[in-house]
Chains A and B, each alone.
Chain A
Amino acid sequence: MGGEPAGPIDIVDHGMKFWEKQANALRNTLTSRKVVRLDELRRAAEDLGERYYELEYFERTTEALRRVLIEHGFFTEAELDAKVAEVRRRYDAA
Chain B
Amino acid sequence: MKHQHDHSHDRSFDDGPPSEYEILSRAIQELLEAKGVITAEHVRRRMEQFEADFPQRGAQVVAHAWVDADFKRRLLADGKRACAEYGIDLEADRLIALENTSRVHNVIVCTLCSCYPRALLGMPPTWYKSENYRRRVVREPRAVLREFGTVIPDDVEVRVHDSNADMRYVVVPMRPGGTKGWSEERLASIITRDSLVGVTVPKP
**Chain B, 1-32, CB within 8 A of any chain A CB:** 3, 7, 11-15, 17-19, 21-32
Closest to A30 in B: B38
Known contacts A2-B111, A18-B15, A65-B28, A28 near B46 by CB under 8 Å: yes
Does B132 make an interface contact (CB < 8 A)?
yes
A-side binding surface: helix, strand, loop or mixed? Answer: helix
What string of 1s and 0s marks CB contacts (under 8 Å) between B98-129 and chain A?
Answer: 00000000000101111000100001011101
CA distance A24 to B116 in the complex (A): 13
Does B35 make an interface contact (CB < 8 A)?
yes
* A32, B91: Cβ atoms closer than 8 Å: yes
**Chain A, 66-91, CB within 8 A of any chain B CB:** 66, 69, 74-75, 79-80, 83-84, 86-88, 90-91
Known contacts A18-B15, A21-B47, A25-B50, A13 near B126 by CB under 8 Å: yes
Q: How many residues of A contact B (CB 8 A)?
A: 57
* B46, A29: Cβ atoms closer than 8 Å: yes
Q: Tell me the minimal C-beta distance from A8 to chain B in angstroms.
A: 6
* A62, B129: Cβ atoms closer than 8 Å: no
CA distance A74 to B41 in the complex (A): 20
Known contacts A1-B134, A23-B25, A94 near B13 by CB under 8 Å: yes
Known contacts A19-B25, A29-B46, A87-B30, A9 near B38 by CB under 8 Å: no
* A15, B38: Cβ atoms closer than 8 Å: no
Stretch with Cβ within 8 A of A (4 or more), from B56-64, B69-77, B136-144: B136-144
Question: Hey, which bits of chain A sit against chain B, CB under 8 A?
Answer: 1-19, 21-26, 28-33, 35, 42, 45, 53, 55-59, 62-63, 65-66, 69, 74-75, 79-80, 83-84, 86-88, 90-91, 94
A57-B114, A62-B24 known; 5 other A-B pairs, CB under 8 Å?
Answer: A9-B130, A15-B126, A18-B12, A28-B46, A86-B3
